[in-house]
Structure 1
Amino acid sequence: MTLPLRKPAPSWPCPKPPLPKPLPNPSPGLKPTATSDARPGPFAGRVAIVTGSESGIGRETARLLCAQGAAVVLNGRNAERLEHTRRTLAEAGFAVASCVADVTDYAACEQLVKTTVEAFGRLDILVTNASISQRAYFADMQPEVFKQVLDSNVYGSVFPLKAALPQLLKSRGSVTFISSISALNGMPSGSAYCAGKAAVANLAHTLRLELAGTGVHFGVVHIGFTQNDPEKRVLAADGQPVPIAHRPPRWQKSQAEVAAIILEHIRRRRQRTVISALGQLIVLVHTYFPRLGDWVVRTTMRRMRHFYE
């Protein structure tokens, strides 16, 4: 997904697979949304926040949640792009609202949750998708750039969850952190990004232990290489926006394919989903043959520098 890369001042206007587990019943006293019976689907009557949903994977995840019955609150920092996405989904007949909010600002996240409850009366699903990526080696990165990338990936998940947790406890809801296959074994030129994505995976594990028995689902989706919007940019070592590094098209999934996997993860309330055969291979090699995995990465650094730089 695409986010403005320079942080503005906080602003907001507002064998056979097993059968899926049913979504849990909310706590007594939680009223259904006004759109509960408007559109049938596995998420009918549920309300979701998808951060970073003005574009990219977040937008497609929001679109699919709407198509499967949910009411969705969109989020981003670019007001014009966010409104365009909201209007497009609303014109398709979906129940949507939006809130401009920098998710690395806790007060903005509180406003995001407030907007959701005011619009739809409750909150059942949180997808923390907003983040900034990078294309820079650690030795070259300015400290403030490293911090910006790390903050977007860590606090950009922690703050929305912290603000939303009381509502999610009421609804016995679902939290999905969007991570990356690069968090599974690290990736050159992605130090801050990899560290942040690994952090949210461990956060999810900790929360499952701390909040066991509450009925809240905490899961992580490790996304692989995905087709990006043409305007997508990441941070260079000096903080300037640059195109992402080369990715062979045959390795990429479409945004719609990734969104469908995310929704299946939420519906089945899985703890972890690793997307793509490459991601599964990384898990296997990292677990059982870590030295082989490091050798492969070092080899590609020499022979496929455009893959990282």
Structure 2
Amino acid sequence: MFDSNLVSDAERATVAARPPQLPRSGPFAGKVAIVTGSESGIGRETARALCESGAAVVLNGRNAERLEHTRQDLATAGHTVATCVADVTDYAACERLVQTALDHFGQVDILITNASISMRAYFADMAPEVFRQVLDSNVYGTVYPLKAALPHLVRTRGSVTFISSISALNGMPSGSAYCAGKAAVANLAHTLRLELVDTGIHFGVVHIGFTQNDPEKRVLDAQGQPVPIAHRPPRWQKSQTEVAAIIVRHVRKRRQRTVISALGRLIVLVHTYLPRLGDWVVLSTIRRMRNFYE
């Protein structure tokens, strides 16, 4: 099952000797969270919501300037934050990310793996290296931060939430690598609940629906070039603040799965009980709403 030697006596002594200076009010008072991909978008607003609930948060991203802007924004609001520029598909960088939490706050209680790359390209057109880049960002961008943080989450009996998508529930044309990666992390969470049941760690998955994006949001096309995200009707979209609040509630209640939006819950229902109908609906939208995918 689980090797308790993952947490060494030296690690315990190091953490114990480093008194944390953490917020003292709110449902997450005294807790330390790492949110990957929190320099912008949903990750930024999730970090903000955690801070407002009393957590100290380590912010992460690959763009140092944007990350610093987010840090200043949250620090000015009186929140306790630290930052680490790190590519979460690089394991050594993830070790630095976790060490940042330990150096600043002495512990890790919450990990939210939000960072990922999305796409808009049909499988037949995609360069193999682009497929791998998207898949790696979603799978290894989840696995590596967790591997690096796991010994410390064992010590705190912490909480881990993987950010997935409603597109992982039934697939979506022009999103093959993204859908495959998001489905993979959902199944990974289930496996980890079984393997690590004795640790007391919470493993959850949030399936995000259509969400308002930052204006500069880009995804990859078939050749790996950044392009705007495909059209989404505004009436179908939740705000980033709404999505962040749902993610934080999911963590607080230590839920196994949260599917955001009525559309997401409908997809689960149709995929489970009427899969042929679900495929017919998708194929119909490809013919009638091509800009939804392209």
TM-score, with structure 1 as normaliser: 0.89
> Following the alignment from structure 1 to structure 2, what is the Cα–Cα distance between the partners of residues 281 and 295?
14
Structure 2 residue runs without a partner (length 5+): 1-11
| Contact 2:20 2:104 (C-alpha < 8 Å) held by counterparts | no
Given candidates 30, 33, 53, the residue that maps to 2:20 is: 33
Given candidates 219, 225, 248, the residue that maps to 1:234 is: 219
> Following the alignment from structure 1 to structure 2, what is the Cα–Cα distance between the partners of residues 110 and 179?
23
Any idea what the Cα deviations from partners look like across 1:93-147, whole Å, max 9, x if unmatched? 1000000000000000000001110000000000000000000000000000000
Given candidates 282, 287, 308, the residue that maps to 2:267 is: 282
The question of 1:200 aligning with 2:185 is answered yes
> Following the alignment from structure 2 to structure 1, what is the Cα–Cα distance between the partners of residues 108 and 20?
10
* Displacement after TM superposition at 1:247 (Å): 0.2
Any idea what the Cα deviations from partners look like across 1:198-230, whole Å, max 9, x if unmatched? 000000000000001211000000000000000
Given candidates 117, 120, 137, the residue that maps to 1:152 is: 137
| Contact 2:220 2:227 (C-alpha < 8 Å) held by counterparts | yes
| Contact 1:33 1:46 (C-alpha < 8 Å) held by counterparts | no
**Aligned-CA RMSD value:** 1.1
Alignment match, 1:122: 107
Please show how residues 66-215 of structure 1 align to structure 2 within 5 Å: 66-215=51-200
> Following the alignment from structure 1 to structure 2, what is the Cα–Cα distance between the partners of residues 163 and 214?
16
> Following the alignment from structure 2 to structure 1, what is the Cα–Cα distance between the partners of residues 73 and 285?
42
Any idea what the Cα deviations from partners look like across 1:150-170, whole Å, max 9, x if unmatched? 000000000000000000000
> Following the alignment from structure 1 to structure 2, what is the Cα–Cα distance between the partners of residues 248 and 68?
31
Please show how residues 239-250 of structure 1 align to structure 2 within 5 Å: 239-250=224-235
User: What letter corresponds to residue 158 of structure 2 in structure 1?
Assistant: G
The question of 1:50 aligning with 2:35 is answered yes
Report the secondary structure of 1:179's partner residue.
strand
> Following the alignment from structure 1 to structure 2, what is the Cα–Cα distance between the partners of residues 198 and 123?
26
The question of 1:65 aligning with 2:59 is answered no
Q: Which runs of 4+ in 1 moved over 4 A?
A: 28-32
* Displacement after TM superposition at 1:87 (Å): 0.9
Alignment match, 2:8: none
* Displacement after TM superposition at 1:36 (Å): 4.0
Alignment match, 1:221: 206
| Contact 2:23 2:80 (C-alpha < 8 Å) held by counterparts | no
Any idea what the Cα deviations from partners look like across 1:16-60, whole Å, max 9, x if unmatched? xxxxxxxxxxxx9876731242xx110000000000000000000
User: What letter corresponds to residue 198 of structure 2 in structure 1?
Assistant: G
> Following the alignment from structure 2 to structure 1, what is the Cα–Cα distance between the partners of residues 245 and 79?
17
> Following the alignment from structure 2 to structure 1, what is the Cα–Cα distance between the partners of residues 46 and 152?
21
Identity value in percent:
81
- Equivalenced residue count is 280
Any idea what the Cα deviations from partners look like across 1:67-97, whole Å, max 9, x if unmatched? 1100000000000000010011111110000
TM-score, with structure 2 as normaliser: 0.94
| Contact 2:36 2:114 (C-alpha < 8 Å) held by counterparts | yes
Structure 1 residue runs without a partner (length 5+): 1-27
> Following the alignment from structure 1 to structure 2, what is the Cα–Cα distance between the partners of residues 299 and 106?
42
Report the secondary structure of 1:225's partner residue.
coil
Please show how residues 259-274 of structure 1 align to structure 2 within 5 Å: 259-274=244-259
| Contact 1:110 1:163 (C-alpha < 8 Å) held by counterparts | yes
